[in-house]
Amino acid sequence: MPYVELISKLIAQGHEVHFAMRSLHKVYDIFGENGVIWHQAPIILPRHVEIMMPIDSFPKILHHAGHDKPERLAGLLMTWKNLYNLIDPDLFVFDYSPTAMLAARSRPGKKLAIGTGFHLPPSIQTILTPASLSDTSTAQEDTAAFEKRVLGVINAAFKQLNIQPLNQLTDFMDADEMILRTLPEMDHYPDRTKARYGGIMKSPPGEVPIWPPSPGPKIFAYLKVFETLPSLLETLNQKQYPTLIYGDKIPQEIMQRFSSDSLKFAEKPLDMDSIGQTADLAICNAGHGGTTELLLSGVPLLLLPLNGEQNMVAENVERLGAGLSAPHLHPNGMTEKLDTLIKEPGFKEAAQRFSETYKGSNMTNLSDTVLKTIDVLLNSVSG
């Protein structure tokens, strides 16, 4: 969704844009017939990989995406290479696509890498997990051992394909330009040096929110399904605050069960600018983009992280004083923190201070930054 505007501008300039993506089931709804050429990105389905829990680090995500066996990864890399041969691109734009970046290492063409701090970790020997950032030496040793294991798989696959091995895992970030799709305060690795922060891509316009008429603070929630979600919805109904929820794959049965005069489920994405102007509080799973966009509107947050990356986002928000995290998703914990956020004005004030910091900046207009960078890289090719 964040690339709709950018791709439309590139096509209007006369570029031929090929977009390889993991899931094609909504591609026509998103892009229509705007001229972009779609491709199915090479993927390994999760059922073919041994899932290692908890999913608390970037190397584990790589493992689950096919970096678990040299032969499996070699097949993925060859498929990416075949796609590159068909397209023959002058410029690669990568966003959260490390396998595609690995496959392009030996290929000519300018390369632009975009991603959050988590997706483009700093060039360090060990990509730390949320726990090992400040935890015991044992946690750090476990992280280093697993990262070494994944690096071994990559280099074994590279050997089969006659590609030079990586010295460390973060060497996959081989690009001419790198733009972090985040803000310094929201970087998963706050001690990073030499970073180019481009801000965020705003959500496309959505449906205008129509709040339930009940009294009280207006609450917006963007949530995935988790075990104690029904308890949270029950609490929100009991409090009768005007609540709008846009759910990601929330079952119809749950929506029908908990819809009420004060709690409504939106069928289509809501307009985030309008939400930011009218909501008093937001509840989400600490996804980086949505969380940051809400903070830039000055909205305090109750965060319910579902994985290690989201825990890191939640910790950044708590560090700003603009929200509270309930990582264990316990009903009592979620209720207590919801009450605290509503009663104590300091969270709203901290979120508004954060918003004021970036008011008038271009940190919500990453598309233009990326477009200018693409122009520079392509001009260097033609020059």
CATH number at residue 291: 3.40.50.2000
Give the model's confidence band at 129: pLDDT under 50 very low, under 70 low, under 90 confident, else very high.
low
Nearby residues of 187 by Cβ (< 8 Å), 6 or more positions away: 116, 117, 180, 195, 197, 316
Q: Is 195 exposed, middle or buried (0-12, 13-18, 19+ CB in 10 A)?
A: middle
In a domain, 160, yes or no: yes
Residue 127 — pLDDT band, cuts 50, 70, 90? low
87 pLDDT band, cuts 50/70/90, is: very high
Over residues 224-247, the mean pLDDT reads 97
Give the integer Cα–Cα distance in Å for 198 and 366. Answer: 6
Which range among 143-147, 230-234, 249-253 shows the weakest confidence by mean pLDDT? 143-147
How many residues in the chain? 383
pLDDT beyond 80 at 168: yes
User: What span, in angstroms and rounded, lies between the C-alpha atoms of 242 and 382?
Assistant: 56
Q: Do residues 371 and 344 share a domain? A: no
> Who has greater pLDDT, 54 or 10?
10
Q: What pLDDT sits at residue 330?
A: 97
For residue 125, the model assigns a pLDDT of: 56
Same domain, 65 and 134: yes
Q: Do both 373 and 299 map to the same domain? A: no
Within a domain: 354: yes
pLDDT category, 134, cuts 50, 70, 90?
Answer: very low
Nearest 5°: phi and psi at 321?
75, 15
Same structural domain, 108 and 240: no
Residue 383: pLDDT band by 50, 70, 90 thresholds?
Answer: low
Interval 330-342 mean pLDDT: 97
Task: Please report which confidence band the pLDDT of residue 131 belongs to, taking 50, 70 and 90 as the band edges.
Answer: very low
pLDDT at residue 304, as a whole number: 97
pLDDT of residue 55: 73
C-alpha count within 13 angstroms, C-beta hemisphere, residue 128:
19
357: number of Cβ within 10 Å: 12
In this structure, the answer to whether residues 246 and 313 fall within a common structural domain is yes
Contact call for residues 155 and 166 (beta carbons, < 8 A): yes
Residue 267 CB-half CA count within 13 A: 2
Domain identity same for 352 and 378: no
Distance CA 89, CA 79 (A): 15
pLDDT of residue 137: 53
354 and 236 in a common domain: yes
**Statement to judge: residues 248 and 187 lie in one domain:** no
Domain tally, the chain: 2
Q: What confidence tens digit (pLDDT) does each residue in 269-291 have?
A: 999 999 999 999 999 999 999 99
Q: What's the rounded Cα separation, in Å, for the pair 173 and 122?
A: 9
Better-scored residue on pLDDT, 258 or 27:
258
Q: pTM here?
A: 0.84
Same domain, 140 and 238: no
| 94 or 193, higher pLDDT | 94
Residue 97 inside a domain? The answer is: yes
Position 288 in a domain: yes
Judgement on whether residues 102 and 122 belong to the same structural domain of the protein:
yes
For residues 98-105, average pLDDT: 94
Residue 111's CATH number = 3.40.50
Q: Which domain holds residue 66?
A: 42-202+365-382
How would residue 67 be classed by pLDDT, with cut points 50, 70 and 90?
Answer: very high
pLDDT in tens, 312-326: 999 999 999 999 999
Indicate whether 69 pLDDT > 80: yes
Q: What is the mean pLDDT of residues 297-319?
A: 94
Q: Are residues 225 and 259 in the same domain?
A: yes
Q: What is the mean pLDDT of the chain?
A: 90
CA pair distance 22, 43, nearest whole angstrom: 7
The enclosing H or E element of 9 equals helix 4-12
Helices 308-320 and 288-296: crossing angle in degrees, nearest 10, is: 20
Residue 219 pairs in a beta bridge with 243, 281
What H or E segment, with its residue span, contains residue 39?
A: strand 37-40
> Which amino acid, one-letter code, is at 196?
R
On whether residue 37 sits in a domain, the answer given is no
Q: 35 is written with which tokens?
A: 């001229």
Residue closest to 334 by CA, chosen among 295, 380, 285: 285
Confidence category of residue 203, pLDDT binned at 50, 70, 90:
confident
| Residue 2, domain member (yes or no) | no
Looking at the structure, do residues 134 and 258 belong to the same domain, yes or no?
no
Whether 19 maps to a domain, the answer reads: no
Specify the pLDDT at position 140. 62
**241 vs 46, more confident:** 241
Using the 8-state DSSP alphabet, how is residue 107 labeled?
S
Pick from 5-9, 120-124, 149-153, 224-228: least confident: 120-124
> Cis omega (within 30 of 0) on the bond before 54?
yes
Q: With the C-alpha atoms ordered 178, 7, 119, 327, is the resulting torsion angle positive or negative?
A: positive
Tokens read off for 250: 């929330």
Instruction: Report pLDDT for 46.
Output: 83
